[in-house]
A and B are shown apart, each in its own frame.
Chain A
Amino acid sequence: MIEFEYTITDKLGIHARPAGLLVREASKYNSDISLKIGEKTADAKKIFSVMGLAAKQGDRTQITVSGEDESTASEALQSFFGVNL
């Protein structure tokens, strides 16, 4: 299991567009990928789950990646967050 933190810098937060891109990215990997902000946890492969987080700029997000391809997936996701959020 690999965990990392990312603070959302996008001023619009995780709205439909980045949420859709995130789900597409996360779905490339077999690992389970979750996002946690405060008390809310979301499955990064499910769009409704990610939208339900209503993540805003400045929110500290804990990303947990767990599975056989976790190191590749967490590297790709760190890069994804940096570029898109």
Chain B
Amino acid sequence: MLNFLRRKKATGQPGVVLSPQDGEIFSITEMPDPIFAEKILGDGVCILPANNYIYSPVDGCVDNVAGTGHAMGIISEDGAEIMIHIGVDTVELKGQGFKVNVKQGQKIKAGDLLCEVDVNFIKSKGYKPHTAVVLTNGGAFSVVGISTQKVKAGKDVAFRFAPTGATS
């Protein structure tokens, strides 16, 4: 019944993080926020969004959701911890412009709608809308390939990861 909330029939694959949003994808080093660009939170990508919908990039579980709705942490079935952080400094909006569709502890499938963000609203408030998608348990896993192109949420790969130390 809730299939309308899913964009496509995306299925999570081991080691694959799908793009959570339609847009143009770049290395995390291009994120206009040093905490991300310097990989202090981890390696990954940033997305210049083409629309307002954020979908789960993996099959897994919602581990944490910021009270302000602009950030959440997801643990994939294969153990990767993925933070999705929407916009730069958008914590300051205190929830305005964000509508979260999931709860802490909720099981999710790749392609499930996680959050709606009013990109035009956050831009109108002077904030950059880039979405960061970061692998935060870099001790256990390493990012082994990122996309750098236009992507469709829940369909195209954002990046791949592998257990750290595994020969590739």
The interface of chain A, by Cβ under 8 A from chain B, is: 12, 15-17, 20-21, 24, 46-48, 51-52, 54, 56
Contacts and interface: CB of A to CB of B under 8 A. Distances in A.
How many residues of B sit at the interface, in one of the four size bands?
20 to 34
Contacts of B136: 47-48
19 contacts: A12-B91, A15-B71, A16-B35, A16-B85, A16-B91, A17-B91, A20-B40, A46-B137, A47-B42, A47-B73, A47-B81, A47-B83, A47-B137, A48-B63, A48-B75, A48-B136, A52-B63, A52-B73, A54-B64
A56 B83 CA distance: 19
B66 interface: yes
A47 B75 contact: no
Interface of B: 33, 35, 40-42, 63-64, 66-68, 71, 73, 75, 81, 83, 85, 91-92, 104, 136-137
B64 A48 contact: yes
